[in-house]
């Protein structure tokens, strides 16, 4: 009799577990709830064949954000893709607020345009031929294509200027020594904006407007950026500024004034610009370049004949600017400068998820804890700022401690534990703020009220 009872109880537990899984699957398919057990994970970590080159590289690999494909190229896994999409929205918000309009240009660029601008022999170009033996390159940047497009708009009235066109697309550069994960690769996501003005004075105004938008982007991300004078390099032009995140692994040496906002890339010293630092108290730091602005003038528009018609009916050459942001580079650079120990710390607005709910481990009243976790999930998900920002770690075969550790390592800003205190007369939930290293207990209503103030994209 006891044997039969034992078998019956065992079957009952199995049935209960199966039913929970069916319910989870149903809700996941309908988009209602997101359970961690249903999330895609990378292959075993032991299959990573490359060594970590810096802290952020290690953390992104260990937490299923990226996975190596080949030298200088990475898979961006679901958590990483969410971060990319959120960062893209932040960039779109600020650039469209100043009049930027988003487009998408071909990756394949014909060699004839690059030959006209005398950049065809740039060593970083990936070159290829089609079946008709026509030469192309995979676009590392798009000055040639966008300028040729504007040429075809002729006659372009001065009334339509300034034009501010940008894209966020995959770029390709034949990097000699790829390293540091997403910081120095051969394929990467980049935002490149190109501006066209009637006069150099107007182009400088546009230049400052875009630079101010960059400031707002990095401030929204709450990143400790510095803006410095930079070299124009292969892009060319009359004026250039770089945006950096200070970090020991940064490959640029920067000279920053400790008393004012002035700074410059050290490579400018000795190149005729060393008078910049005469009245400043400069200190040297390393930086990871995450953005660059160039005032191009007519370097491309004159060669490629991108013109407009002025108010007197005369044809004039447009004055250009170009502005880049290394989007995937920002993702890893932010992890490099914000993370602590073995735990990722994201700019909060681009964290893959904002809240992780963890019900009690399998065992005593497991169904009750799971039901309460689901109920709390639905209430939080109904908040406008947290819709689609909740993750429920339903791996109840693991201890609560192990699941807290994982959520902390992934950099999820808020963890809510449905533990024993949830069974009290007034149910209480443990709330862990990972970035602040703060823990407190609160009722469901208090948790909801507290979460109303979370800033998401």
265 and 374 both lie in a single domain: no
306 and 392 both lie in a single domain: no
| Secondary element (H or E) of residue 225 | none
Half-sphere exposure of 437 (CA within 13 A, CB side): 3
Alpha-carbon distances of 51 from 46, 54, 60, 395, 410, rounded to whole Å: 11, 9, 13, 30, 20
Question: Domain for residue 97, yes or no?
Answer: yes
Instruction: Please tell me which of 19-28, 32-41, 195-204 the model is most confident about, judged by mean pLDDT.
Output: 195-204
Under the banding of pLDDT at 50, 70 and 90, the label for residue 11 is low
244 vs 290: CA distance, rounded Å: 6
313 and 234 both lie in a single domain: yes
303 and 368 both lie in a single domain: no
Q: What is the mean pLDDT of residues 238-264?
A: 92
Q: Which domain holds residue 431?
A: 19-34+353-451
The answer to whether residues 448 and 378 touch, using CB atoms and an 8 Å cutoff, is: no
The answer to whether residues 277 and 302 touch, using CB atoms and an 8 Å cutoff, is: no
207 vs 320: CA distance, rounded Å: 9
* CA-based max dimension of the chain: 103
Question: Domain for residue 8, yes or no?
Answer: no
439 and 322 both lie in a single domain: no
Tell me what pLDDT residue 364 has: 84
30 and 143 both lie in a single domain: no
Residue 55 gets the label, from left (phi > 0), alpha (psi -120 to 50) or beta, of alpha
Question: Domain for residue 10, yes or no?
Answer: no
Question: Domain for residue 7, yes or no?
Answer: no
Please provide residue 365's backbone torsions phi and psi, each rounded to the nearest 5 degrees.
55, 35
Strand order in the sheet with 135-138: 108-110, 135-138, 126-129
148 and 236 both lie in a single domain: yes
Residue 383 gets the label, from left (phi > 0), alpha (psi -120 to 50) or beta, of beta
Under the banding of pLDDT at 50, 70 and 90, the label for residue 4 is low
Under the banding of pLDDT at 50, 70 and 90, the label for residue 190 is very high
Last residue of a domain, one of 312, 338, 364: 338
Question: Domain for residue 1, yes or no?
Answer: no
Residue among 293, 202, 288 at smallest CA distance from 245? 288
The tens digit of pLDDT for each residue in 122-157 reads 999 999 999 999 999 999 999 999 999 999 999 999
206 and 246 both lie in a single domain: yes
133 and 76 both lie in a single domain: yes
The answer to whether residues 174 and 72 touch, using CB atoms and an 8 Å cutoff, is: no
Last residue of a domain, one of 338, 372, 405: 338
Question: Domain for residue 435, yes or no?
Answer: yes
Share of the chain above pLDDT 90, in %: 79
Last residue of a domain, one of 286, 308, 338: 338
The answer to whether residues 226 and 246 touch, using CB atoms and an 8 Å cutoff, is: yes
Q: What is the mean pLDDT of residues 248-268?
A: 91
Q: Where are the beta strands (DSSP E) in 107-232?
A: 108-110, 126-129, 135-138, 163-172, 187-197, 226-229
The tens digit of pLDDT for each residue in 377-419 reads 999 999 999 999 999 999 999 999 999 999 999 999 999 999 9
422 and 317 both lie in a single domain: no
Tell me what pLDDT residue 167 has: 98
Question: Domain for residue 269, yes or no?
Answer: yes
Question: Domain for residue 26, yes or no?
Answer: yes
CATH number reported for the structural domain that contains residue 443 in this entry: 3.40.50.800
The tens digit of pLDDT for each residue in 310-369 reads 999 999 999 999 999 999 999 999 999 999 989 999 999 999 999 999 999 988 888 999
79 and 203 both lie in a single domain: yes
Q: What is the mean pLDDT of residues 36-40?
A: 90
Reading the block at residue 450, the tokens are 């507290």
CATH number reported for the structural domain that contains residue 149 in this entry: 3.30.930.10
256 and 381 both lie in a single domain: no
- By CB atoms closer than 10 A (0-12, 13-18, 19+), residue 121 is exposed
309 vs 158: CA distance, rounded Å: 6
Tell me what pLDDT residue 53 has: 79
Tell me what pLDDT residue 5 has: 47
Number of domains, the chain: 2
């Amino acid at each position: 009799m006891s044997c039969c009872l034992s078998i019956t109880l065992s079957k009952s537990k199995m049935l209960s577990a199966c039913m929970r899984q069916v319910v989870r699957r149903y809700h996941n398919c309908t988009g209602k709830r997101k359970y961690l057990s249903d999330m895609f994970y990378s292959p075993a970590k032991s299959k990573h064949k490359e060594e970590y080159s810096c802290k952020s590289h290690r953390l992104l690999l260990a937490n299923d954000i990226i996975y190596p494909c080949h030298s200088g190229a990475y898979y961006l896994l679901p958590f990483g893709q969410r971060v990319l999409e959120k960062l893209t929205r932040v960039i779109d918000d600020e650039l469209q607020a100043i009049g930027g309009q988003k487009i998408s240009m071909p990756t394949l660029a014909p060699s004839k345009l690059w030959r006209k601008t005398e950049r065809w022999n740039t060593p970083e170009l990936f070159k290829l031929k089609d079946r008709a033996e026509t030469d192309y390159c995979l676009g590392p940047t798009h000055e040639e294509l966008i300028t040729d497009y504007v040429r075809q708009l002729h006659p372009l009235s001065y009334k339509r200027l300034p034009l501010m066109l940008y894209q966020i697309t995959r770029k390709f550069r034949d990097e000699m020594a790829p390293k540091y994960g997403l910081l120095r690769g051969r394929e990467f996501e980049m935002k490149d904006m190109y501006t066209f003005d009637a006069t150099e004075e107007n182009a400088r105004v546009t230049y400052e407007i875009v630079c101010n938008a960059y400031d707002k982007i990095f401030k929204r991300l709450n990143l400790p950026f510095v803006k410095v004078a930079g070299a124009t390099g292969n892009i060319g032009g009359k004026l250039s500024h770089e945006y950096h995140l200070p970090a020991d692994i940064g490959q640029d040496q920067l000279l920053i004034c400790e008393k004012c906002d002035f700074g410059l890339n050290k490579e400018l010293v000795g190149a005729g610009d060393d008078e910049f630092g005469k009245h400043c108290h400069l200190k040297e730091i390393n930086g990871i370049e995450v953005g660059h602005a160039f005032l191009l003038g007519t370097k491309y528009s004159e060669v490629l004949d991108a013109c407009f018609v002025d108010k007197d009916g005369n044809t004039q050459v447009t004055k250009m600017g170009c502005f880049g942001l290394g989007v995937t580079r920002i993702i890893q650079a932010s992890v490099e400068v914000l993370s602590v120990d073995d735990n990722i710390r994201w700019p909060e607005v681009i964290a893959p998820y904002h809240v992780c709910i963890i019900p009690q481990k399998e065992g005593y009243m497991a169904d009750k804890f799971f039901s309460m976790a689901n109920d709390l999930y639905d209430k939080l998900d109904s908040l406008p700022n947290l819709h689609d920002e909740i993750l429920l770690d339903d791996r109840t075969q693991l201890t609560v401690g192990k699941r807290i550790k994982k959520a902390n390592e992934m950099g999820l800003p808020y963890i809510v534990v449905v533990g024993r205190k949830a069974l009290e007369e007034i149910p209480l939930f443990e709330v862990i703020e990972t970035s602040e290293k703060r823990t407190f207990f609160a009722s469901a209503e208090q948790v909801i009220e507290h979460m109303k103030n979370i800033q998401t994209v």
